Amino acid sequence: MAAHIPLNPQRFFGEVGGEPVALFRLRHANGMEVAVCNLGAKVLQILVPDRDGVLGDVALGYDSLAALQAGAPSMGAFIGRVAGRIAQARYTLDGTAYALEPNAGSHSIHGGPNGSRHRVFSAHQDTPDALTLRLRFEPSVDRHPGILDLTLSYRLTDGHTLVVEHEAVAVCNASPASPASFTPHIFFNLDGPGDTLVDEHRLQVFADRLLAADADNVANGERTPLDGHALDLRQPRRLGGLPDIDHAYELAGSTPGSLRRVAQAHSPVSGRTLDVWTTEPVMQVYTAGALGTGAAPDIGKRGVVHRPRAGLCLEPQQYPNAVNCPAFPLMRVAVGQPYRARTAFRFGTGDISRGQ
């Protein structure tokens, strides 16, 4: 089966936790297609042309509900209510201590075991090129304070662009303000989700600094200059010439609410490019060094066995572990103070500087 064959929605019908699960296909007049499962709001397929105009898949994912449930929980997911790692799965806000359920050693990662990547969103598709999903976050589910209603939108626009927008609003005046950080966790491979790794991809990130982390890769509140750093991506770098990356970059030009280009990836194999635009202040860059390293094989679309460095994740978000790092700005959602963000993944063809 060719990589550009659209996913079959019939293979995703089912229920999880008593909630209906389905696959939704978005289509644009320019030929671009995206497939999203409402379990985790997961982007499982993105079809865009290569340099020869041939449509191909540039996202790792799964081709059935059963495979999705057995696979990597972050694959394609929309992460929340707090993206990244929270040290020791605990924090104190306004004098109140909150103990979370750890799911990464002693830490909490990506919203914990009941975060959005594990939950079923309600979904509604009014037009062929857009999908709206909704999810409520409650302390009884994820142990964070406050009740939040999340509205998430995936839209296809001109220029082969996937726009991801969210709005999180607090529901109850009597509830404490909630920390929040959401991010799309799509695994990209501009050559297709097959046996090719992303080592030949060139990546450039328009950043000011790295956010330092401890031995467990938990942000510690310090910032690291990029000058002379092995992971300085301010000029295009070949990923195969770099160690595994799982680092948060403090992005340049982060005026609150401003949409600006923060990264560009290019594959000389397919000729595809990916530009990332966002309103968020930080972006986690992940070259998927841990992908497919579990006890059981991680089986993706067309029976492909996912391997380390088979994908590239570019995850715009708020500051990681900000609840425990006073030096970092903390996004808190209260009544009348919603959290809105927009990220655009724009695909094209061409070239960027060869880099190192």
Please write the tens of the pLDDT for every residue from 6-50: 999 999 999 999 999 999 999 999 999 999 999 999 999 999 999
Annotation says 118 is catalytic:
no
275 contacts 260 by C-beta, under 8 angstroms = no
Coil, strand, or helix at residue 141? helix
117 contacts 142 by C-beta, under 8 angstroms = no
Is this model's pTM higher than 0.85 or not? yes
The reported pLDDT for the residue numbered 254 is 64
Task: Name the percent of the chain lying above pLDDT 90.
Answer: 93
Could you give the C-alpha distances from 345 to 82, 136, 309, 316, 354, in angstroms and in order? Answer: 21, 26, 20, 11, 21
The reported pLDDT for the residue numbered 173 is 82
Buried b (16+ CB within 10 A) or exposed e, 19-55: eebbbbbbebeeebbbbbbbbbbbbbbbbbbbbeeeb
Q: Which CATH architecture has domain 9-349?
A: Distorted Sandwich (2.70)
Please pick, among 166, 185, 201, 306, the residue that the annotation labels catalytic.
Answer: 185
Q: What mean pLDDT value characterizes the chain? A: 95
Annotation says 315 is catalytic:
yes
| Alpha carbon 87 to chain centroid, angstroms | 20
How many whole angstroms separate alpha carbon 64 and alpha carbon 164?
Answer: 23
How many whole angstroms separate alpha carbon 333 and alpha carbon 341?
Answer: 13
Please pick, among 33, 250, 280, 315, the residue that the annotation labels catalytic.
Answer: 315
Could you give the C-alpha distances from 165 to 131, 265, 317, in angstroms and in order? Answer: 11, 21, 12
The reported pLDDT for the residue numbered 355 is 42
Instruction: Pick out the chain residues at pLDDT < 50.
Output: 1-3, 354-356
